[in-house]
Structure 1
Amino acid sequence: MVTITNLVYLIAAVLFILGLKNLGSPKTARRGNLMALLGMLLAIVITLFDRNILDFTYIIAGLIIGTAIGAYAAKTVEMTQMPQMVALFNGFGGLASALVGMAEYVHHGGAHFTLDVSITLVLSLLIGTVTFTGSVIAYAKLQGIMRGAPIVFKGQTAFNALVLVGVVVLGGFFTADTSQMNLLLIILFLSAILGVTSVIPIGGADMPVVISLLNSYSGLAAAMTGFVLSNNVLIVAGALVGASGIILTNIMCKAMNRSLTNVLFAAVGTDGGGGSSGDKKKVTQYTAEDAAMVFDSAQSVIIVPGYGLAVAQAQHVLHELATLLMERNVDVRYAIHPVAGRMPGHMN
């Protein structure tokens, strides 16, 4: 059974990698999503058959509740609210990793925890809890529950550093004596605080970058939990999510002409915009008649879909306009900003 399990895990890992590769192009993104979904389904099913599960009651209950919530969200959440939904997904992923790691410790009482497993458990709790509380703050800022402007207080960076040092010190004490569950509870509490204080000084306009980074954190938390459980497919999946999240975060920062350090620590993001303000330009307003004259003589048109187009749900009119232009042999292309840009299909 172990051989079959490892073989299925290997197939699932390959599907994850192929899925990620296909997500790199809009033409193959749907196929990539299905590949990743199939890989996760295989991993879940073989894990349920492999483990010595005495009672499926809680597992079935969790599957039903989770499926119901996911289906409801998929049907009701507007595309313009996708950043908030992704933020919550990241948060729940981090929370799940932390809870599973904690459950594994409680189940075994820490008796069999070697040094490397103890370290990865502490990292799982730290990263998972920071991801959860940070994602909740990101969601609240995007949803308007909290004000989007940066929330700062004197000595905030020093405070965060002190909390992180506290977690590291307590983690060191725990690895020396894994029977001290109280240390893990304190680590959870400090990690929760760190997640909040790390995200509140970041403005609403920079939240896409933060969500991408938190997505990376959720993957790293899953990978750490995979080491705790000795689960190879969880390690691979978590590492893929962590790496892709970091790459995406870097791309987004470059697109904003900002560094990640600037986004996280400069507290310059506001609701109005994410980048630094340059020289003010004169705004030229066009009427519908002016636009018609421009299109009438245009040979090449580049369309830049943004937030306004998404809110107006103007994707159908945009498609009709693009079709009319192409019928007149006009070269029509789309320019999609890596951070704020939206593909026309995303607004349907």
Structure 2
Amino acid sequence: MISPNLVTLLYLIASVCFIQALKGLSHPTTSRRGNLFGMVGMAIAVLTTAALIAGLASHGMAGIDLGWIVLGLLIGGSVGTVMAKRVEMTKMPELIAFMHSMIGLAAVAIAIAVIAEPHAFNIVANGLPLPTGNRFELVIGTFVGAITFSGSVIAFGKLSGTYKFRLFQGASVVFPGQHMLNLVLAIVMLAFGAWFIATQMWLPYAVMLLIAFALGVLIIIPIGGADMPVVISMLNSYSGWAAAGIGFSLNNPMLIIAGSLVGSSGAVLSYIMCKAMNRSFFSVILGGFGAAPGAAQNGGQAQRSVKSGSPEDSAFLMSNAESVTIVPGYGLAVARAQHALKELAQKLTDQGVIVKYAIHPVAGRMPGHMNVLLAEAEVPYDQVFEMDDINGEFAQTDVVLVLGANDVVNPAAKNDPNSPIAGMPILEAYKARTVIVNKRSMATGYAGLDNELFYMDKTMMVFGDAKKVIEGMVKAIE
């Protein structure tokens, strides 16, 4: 049987790997190393836990069936491997939401198992009640896990955009008295949690669990699509705290450390995302862009005319420019056009054009979506610039190529104090000498707002699938 000291040491090594993983993922140039640290750390944690359980089973520990544990590991590992191999970049946010939901559900399942048979987890002797401290930890882990699960399911539906059920649609779902209902439910949930802590009865625990599932749905449905990057990082934080709460109950330092890392990093990321959108965290939770009054809906701009051109026109403008800045958006991800874009940038660079990529923190459907997309195409890191680093250069840029981005380049954030996105930091593409915008149509972005950039005299719209349009540009340059 593996010794407790060795288990503690291996868990400590895994924790150090997780810390290094977070450090590595903070920058594109070290992200591969960060991922490697994360994989090594998780492998150590899983194998150590498996060895510990196997040792307990070999010593005849009651309630442990090694066969079921191995089966669970095989099923979970196989599903994770298959999904990771098959997932497309455009579906990565949905995959993350799905994983968050599984973490939340796992926390709830573990909490129920601990309450049902605490002696099997070596918390108390058979027949004795759980200590009050353990009940408190289980209550926190349960309701945070339940909220994470149901909220992530709704986020998955909103991100997917393929379900007709209203709760799964990108637009916010609001109704009178919604916030008061959420407040009342939260108070009632905590009251039943306190009842469980005092009595360890199943009834208050079950009611608390059901209310938590309902709250997860009610918290996410009013959030519009434009705020989904914040939701993703917020749910990431929730899943971490749920794991940490259960870790305290199980006296498992690995769960406590890993959960705390995920919870704290997710909270910091949520703050960064809100700052990048000029939003407060509570304003996102209480509504979101989709609920903002005055937001234009699709079709509201049909009466206005734009100047349109062809891929060949765009290629001529870019090949005769000294500098070109590319602003990638979700349309680029949908079309899976990152490799064609890399080829276009290379063609322009070969002709002596200075090419840069400008990344907005909330472009796409999750934090870092565009960075990952460009990294997949092996775009040189020294060509990729964050918003704060490149905004000062747009006024001296000859051509800006916007690919499927809407809200992150909308001048209304700067020029219209009455706009729902007023004050939101944007990529100041409108300052460039010439702007080329590729979109499938004139449909609005997640915020549901018309974009004045599209109607400027300096702007040329190129309609069509991003991949086909970019391939047309490459062919025209050749």
- TM-score w.r.t. length of structure 2: 0.67
CA distance, structure 2, for counterparts of residue 98 and residue 283 of structure 1: 53
Residue 37 (1) aligns with residue 39 (2): yes
Residue 299 (1) aligns with residue 335 (2): no
CA distance, structure 2, for counterparts of residue 204 and residue 266 of structure 1: 11
Encode CA deviations 1:237-260: one digit per residue, 9 max, x unaligned. 001101111111112122222222
Larger radius of gyration: 2
Give the equivalent residue in structure 2 for 1:174.
196
Structure 1 window deviating more from structure 2 (328-337 vs 165-174): it is 328-337
Residue 331 (1) aligns with residue 354 (2): yes
Matched position secondary structure for 1:269: helix
Whether the 8 Å CA contact 1:255–1:338 is kept in 2: the answer is: yes
CA distance, structure 2, for counterparts of residue 227 and residue 282 of structure 1: 61
CA distance, structure 1, for counterparts of residue 305 and residue 24 of structure 2: 42
Matched position secondary structure for 2:359: coil
In structure 2, relative to structure 1, the CA distance for the partners of 1:31 and 1:116 (3 Å cut) is same
Whether the 8 Å CA contact 1:130–1:192 is kept in 2: the answer is: yes
Residue 345 (1) aligns with residue 355 (2): no
Give the equivalent residue in structure 1 for 2:71.
61
Whether the 8 Å CA contact 1:313–1:347 is kept in 2: the answer is: no
Give the equivalent residue in structure 1 for 2:406.
none
Encode CA deviations 1:19-78: one digit per residue, 9 max, x unaligned. 110011222212211211111111122222234234211111112222222222223322
Offset at residue 233 of structure 1 (A) = 1.1
Offset at residue 283 of structure 1 (A) = 5.2
Whether the 8 Å CA contact 2:172–2:287 is kept in 1: the answer is: no
Residue 212 (1) aligns with residue 229 (2): no
Give structure 1 stretches of 5+ with no counterpart. none
In structure 2, relative to structure 1, the CA distance for the partners of 1:346 and 1:45 (3 Å cut) is same
In structure 2, relative to structure 1, the CA distance for the partners of 1:267 and 1:20 (3 Å cut) is closer
Whether the 8 Å CA contact 1:263–1:269 is kept in 2: the answer is: no
Matched position secondary structure for 2:117: helix
Whether the 8 Å CA contact 1:209–1:249 is kept in 2: the answer is: yes
Residue 94 (1) aligns with residue 104 (2): yes
Give the equivalent residue in structure 2 for 1:285.
308
Offset at residue 96 of structure 1 (A) = 0.5
Normalized per residue, the structure richer in helix is: 1
Offset at residue 121 of structure 1 (A) = 0.6
Give the equivalent residue in structure 2 for 1:8.
10
Residue 310 (1) aligns with residue 324 (2): no
Residue 162 (1) aligns with residue 184 (2): yes
CA distance, structure 2, for counterparts of residue 266 and residue 181 of structure 1: 34
Offset at residue 267 of structure 1 (A) = 4.4
CA distance, structure 1, for counterparts of residue 17 and residue 196 of structure 2: 37
Runs of 4+ in 1 over 6 A off after TM superposition: none
Letter of the 1:338 counterpart? P
Q: Taking every aligned residue pair, what percent have the same amino acid on both sides?
A: 44
Normalized per residue, the structure richer in strand is: 2
Letter of the 1:184 counterpart? Y
CA distance, structure 1, for counterparts of residue 210 and residue 29 of structure 2: 44
Residue 150 (1) aligns with residue 172 (2): yes
Residue 25 (1) aligns with residue 42 (2): no
Structure 1 window deviating more from structure 2 (93-102 vs 295-304): it is 295-304
- 1:48 aligned to 47, 50, 73, which one? 50
CA distance, structure 1, for counterparts of residue 271 and residue 308 of structure 2: 34
Which structure has the higher relative contact order (CA within 8 Å, separation 6+)? 1
- TM-score w.r.t. length of structure 1: 0.91
CA distance, structure 2, for counterparts of residue 347 and residue 304 of structure 1: 16
CA distance, structure 1, for counterparts of residue 103 and residue 309 of structure 2: 46
Letter of the 1:81 counterpart? K
Offset at residue 193 of structure 1 (A) = 0.7
- The within-5 A match list for 1:211-250 is 211-250=232-271
Give the equivalent residue in structure 1 for 2:409.
none
Encode CA deviations 1:74-111: one digit per residue, 9 max, x unaligned. 23322111111111100101110111122111112783
Aligned residues: 342
Structure 1 window deviating more from structure 2 (337-346 vs 251-260): it is 337-346
In structure 2, relative to structure 1, the CA distance for the partners of 1:309 and 1:10 (3 Å cut) is same
Matched position secondary structure for 1:149: coil
- 1:132 aligned to 128, 149, 171, which one? 149
Encode CA deviations 1:288-335: one digit per residue, 9 max, x unaligned. 343233223322221111111122222222111211222233322211
Give structure 2 stretches of 5+ with no counterpart. 58-63, 365-369, 378-478
Give the equivalent residue in structure 1 for 2:422.
none
CA distance, structure 2, for counterparts of residue 112 and residue 49 of structure 1: 29
Letter of the 1:117 counterpart? N
